[in-house]
Amino acid sequence: MKIGILSSGGDCPGINATIRGVGKTALMHYGMEVVGIHSGFTGLITKDMEVFNERSLSGILNLGGTILGTSREKGIRKRLRNNENDLADTIRTNYREMGLDAVVCIGGNGTQKTANLLSQMGLNIIGVPKTIDNDVWGTDLSFGFDTAVNIATESIDRLHSTASSHKRVMVVEVMGHHAGWIALHAGMAGGADVILLPELGYDIDKVNEAILNRSQKGKPYSIVVVAEGVNTPAKRPVDYFTPTIEQGTGIETRETVLGYTQRGGNPSPFDRNLATRLGGHATELLASRQFGRMVCIKGEHVDSIPLEEVAGKLKIVPPQHELIQQGKRMGIMFGR
Ligand code: F6P
């Protein structure tokens, strides 16, 4: 069996660990041939690939980014849906000419949607969920998330001392796309005073009131963690909250946008092992020819679900999430 591996969408820590997990299991345990497809789904259009052997898959476990390169898949999905320039046929022909029996697609929500389209076109596809946002539907966890939460938490930790010294409010914007998972987990782990999630919304007067309350209780500084997906009149949430909180409370307020530092660099040990387990399970599905599925984590175990069940859905933070309820019991403000 000859399998291809591609990574698509925004990069995140743990993709290389997955490539290694899939590739080494395929080569060493199942005796398959393995190729890496470059630049996401684009590589299936340009037939851009490299042959992997054990040596080429060594030394990448702890490496950030993706050795295969990546590209955003939205444009390709649109072209596929409209079958622009017979794109579906081109991909089918290339898949055959590249000698592929199956392709493992590592990516987030968009990637799983495109993977499902390719599967419906008759290609043998396995999806592996990847995202720092933790918003892929159908899996309890995605690798990249733990690393991003670690990075964001360390940054929030560092903001406490400067906020306290200057008696300021610090507004920290974290990634997460439309979901608040990073804000919730890093905010709680970093001891934030206010945590704003797209799923819960906010009342700015109540946010200001909470900050003033703290100040009246002798806590002259506050840390406000805001998810990038929170809806505000400004383009970026920090551009709205920083001046509005300063005006509303009279307390000097500063902003920090953590941005791409959250998805760059080495994966945490947890993400390395998660990626390795998901990659290994993807190879088992290949070997048993269970195609059209995405590997996932359910509780403690690796599992898989049909790609068509995943495609087009988003896993957001449930308002009743235990960490939110516990935060509220400890006086942390969640926007309202
Ligand atoms: O999905 C991962 C993510 O890092 C989001 O948190 C963020 O909104 C987005 O990607 C940024 O992506 P881009 O690489 O397109 O700027």
Q: For the chain, what are the domain ranges?
A: 2-144+267-310, 148-263
Residue 135 CB less than 6 A away from ligand 1 = no
Signed CA dihedral, 188, 316, 265, 195: sign only: negative
Q: Are 103 and 125 in contact (CB under 8 A)?
A: yes
Instruction: Give distance in angstroms: CA of 132 to centre of ligand 1.
Output: 9
Ligand 1 near 10 CB (within 6 A): yes
Q: Which of 7, 74, 113, 132 to mutate to test the pocket of ligand 1 (most atoms within 8 A of CB)?
A: 132
Beta strands in the chain (DSSP E): 2-7, 33-37, 49-52, 102-107, 125-129, 169-174, 194-196, 222-227, 253-257, 293-298, 301-306
- Determine whether 43 is exposed, middle or buried from the number of CB atoms within 10 Å of its CB (0-12, 13-18, 19+): buried
Task: Give nearest CA residue, ligand 1 atom 15.
Answer: 10
Residue closest via CA to ligand 1's atom 11 equals: 10
Instruction: Give the closest residue to 140 by CA, choosing from 324, 321, 7, 18.
Output: 321
Q: Atom 10 (ligand 1): residue with closest C-alpha?
A: 10
Distance 177 CA to ligand 1 centre (A): 7
Q: For residue 263, which atom of ligand 1 is closest to its CA?
A: 4
CATH match for 148-263 among 3.40.50.620, 3.40.50.460, 2.40.128.50, 3.40.50.720: 3.40.50.460
Q: By the 8 A CB rule, do 144 and 271 touch?
A: yes
pLDDT value of position 325: 98
Closest protein CA for atom 12 of ligand 1:
10
Sequential pLDDT tens for the chain (336 residues):
999 999 999 999 999 999 999 999 999 999 999 999 999 999 999 999 999 999 999 999 999 999 999 998 888 999 988 888 899 999 999 999 999 999 999 999 999 999 999 999 999 999 999 999 999 999 999 999 999 999 999 999 999 999 999 999 999 999 999 999 999 999 999 999 999 999 999 999 999 999 999 999 999 999 999 999 999 999 999 999 999 999 999 999 999 999 999 999 999 999 999 999 999 999 999 999 999 999 999 999 999 999 999 999 999 999 999 999 999 999 999 999
Query: Is the CB of 223 inside a 6 Å radius of any atom of ligand 1?
Result: no
Q: pTM of whole model > 0.95?
A: yes
On the question of a common fold for 2-144+267-310 and 148-263, the answer reads yes
Give CA angle at 232 (230, 233), nearest 5°: 160
Residue 177, ligand 1, Cβ within 6 A: yes
pLDDT at 85: 82
Amino acid at 170: M
Pocket test for ligand 1, best of 263, 314, 316 (most atoms within 8 A of CB): 263
Mention the CATH class of domain 2-144+267-310: alpha beta
User: Using only C-alpha atoms, what is the Rg of the chain?
Assistant: 22
Is 176's C-beta closer than 6 angstroms to any atom of ligand 1? yes
- Ligand 1 within 6 A of 138 CB? no
Ligand 1 pocket test, pick from 12, 71, 74, 133 with the greatest ligand atom count within 8 Å of Cβ, gives: 133
